[in-house]
């Protein structure tokens, strides 16, 4: 009853547990807008801190290298918004990103992202705890395939509500569930309504490595 009683206040933007524990990884997450992420198999060509709809993001251009799982030279744009305060919570960042870039979006579907372990081993077995929005975003002059999800320890989802219940469960144990919003963008044929399939291979190869890089910030290697 206590957990369910907290839900209405959360959905209305009122954080009920003012004395909730701090996020242990917060200092590492706060470095993301300034430093970006180091993605194994991908070289960073450019990285900068930007503001979108009043929120702080890292905007990073990465290029596939040998061993990335896709053709070397394949480009991606990586947008990352980390949790910056212990009481910061997801706010459906996908809407803010769409309005900021003035995209038209369609072909939306939910997909399972291969786990980092499967990617390292060269397999494509899904991790059912890690899901994302896969869609097409286009303007009159360009088209991109997008993957969007909230990363947290042990998985992720594009739905803020999924994080909410995970965080509530963690708080009952005196812990917190940190989160990072991720948008991976793969340019495809410029014509609007171009097929999404050419973008999927690149996005599916990069997403597990991005998730793994974020997981290292949640729980850095000893």
User: How would residue 119 be classed by pLDDT, with cut points 50, 70 and 90?
Assistant: very low
- pLDDT for the residue numbered 189: 76
66 and 94 Cβ atoms separated by less than 8 Å: no
The whole-number average pLDDT for the span 89-115 is: 91
- pLDDT for the residue numbered 141: 85
pLDDT at 109 over 90: yes
Q: How far apart are CA 198 and CA 216, in angstroms?
A: 29
- pLDDT for the residue numbered 126: 44
72 and 66 Cβ atoms separated by less than 8 Å: yes
4 and 153 Cβ atoms separated by less than 8 Å: no
pLDDT at 9 over 70: no
pLDDT at 151 over 80: yes
134 and 111 Cβ atoms separated by less than 8 Å: yes
218 and 25 Cβ atoms separated by less than 8 Å: yes
Q: Which of 105-114, 115-124, 127-136 has the highest mean pLDDT?
A: 105-114
90 and 163 Cβ atoms separated by less than 8 Å: yes
The torsion angles phi and psi of 169, rounded to 5 degrees, stand at: -65, -40
User: How would residue 122 be classed by pLDDT, with cut points 50, 70 and 90?
Assistant: very low
Tell me how far the alpha carbon of residue 133 is from its chain's centroid.
10
User: How would residue 193 be classed by pLDDT, with cut points 50, 70 and 90?
Assistant: confident
User: How would residue 115 be classed by pLDDT, with cut points 50, 70 and 90?
Assistant: low
The whole-number average pLDDT for the span 123-134 is: 68
pTM score of the predicted model: 0.86
- The tens digit of pLDDT for each residue in 27-71 reads 999 999 999 999 999 999 999 999 999 999 999 999 999 988 899
Q: What percent of the chain has pLDDT over 70?
A: 83
Which of these, 132, 73, 134, 78, lies nearest to 105 by C-alpha position? 134
- pLDDT for the residue numbered 140: 86
Tokens describing residue 194: 């171009």
Within a 13 Å sphere around the CA of 16, how many CA atoms are in the beta-carbon half?
15
Quote the mean pLDDT of the chain. 86
- pLDDT for the residue numbered 127: 45
- pLDDT for the residue numbered 160: 94
Tokens describing residue 104: 């038209």
């Amino acid at each position: 009853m206590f957990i369910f009683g907290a839900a209405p206040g959360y959905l209305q933007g009122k954080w009920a547990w003012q004395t909730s524990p701090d996020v242990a990884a917060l200092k590492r997450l706060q470095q993301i807008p300034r430093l970006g992420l180091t993605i194994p198999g991908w070289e960073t060509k450019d990285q900068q801190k930007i503001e979108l709809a009043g929120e702080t993001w890292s905007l990073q251009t990465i290029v596939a290298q040998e061993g990335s799982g896709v053709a070397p030279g394949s480009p991606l744009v990586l947008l990352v918004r980390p949790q910056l305060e212990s009481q910061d919570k997801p706010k459906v960042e996908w809407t803010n990103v769409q309005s900021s870039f003035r995209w038209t979006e369609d072909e939306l579907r939910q997909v399972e992202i291969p786990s980092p372990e499967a990617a390292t081993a060269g397999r494509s077995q899904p991790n059912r705890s890690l899901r994302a929005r896969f869609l097409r975003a286009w303007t009159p002059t360009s088209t991109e395939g997008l993957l969007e999800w909230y990363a947290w320890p042990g998985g992720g989802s594009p739905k803020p509500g999924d994080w909410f219940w995970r965080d509530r469960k963690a708080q009952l144990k005196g812990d917190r569930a940190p989160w990072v919003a991720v948008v991976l963008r793969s340019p495809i044929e410029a014509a609007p309504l171009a097929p999404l399939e050419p973008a999927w291979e690149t996005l599916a190869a990069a997403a597990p490595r991005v998730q793994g890089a974020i997981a290292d910030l949640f729980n850095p290697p000893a």
